[in-house]
Amino acid sequence: MPKCIFCMIANKEIPSDIVYEDDQILAFRDLEPQAPVHVLIVPKKHIASLDNMTQEDQALLGYLMYKVPDIAKELELVNGYRLVNNCGEDGMQTVHHLHFHLLGKRKMTWPPG
pLDDT, residue 8, reads 95
> What is the model's pTM?
0.94
pLDDT, residue 24, reads 98
Please provide residue 57's backbone torsions phi and psi, each rounded to the nearest 5 degrees. -85, -5
pLDDT, residue 75, reads 98
Sign, CA dihedral 6-13-74-66, equals: positive
pLDDT, residue 109, reads 92
Say which residues have a Cβ less than 8 Å from residue 90's Cβ, sequence separation at least 6.
none
Residues marked as catalytic: 99
Could you report the average pLDDT of every consecutive run of 10 residues in the chain (113 residues)?
87 96 98 96 97 96 98 97 95 95 95 75
CATH code reported for the domain at 5-104: 3.30.428.10
Using CA atoms, how far apart are residues 95 and 4, in angstroms rounded to an integer? 8
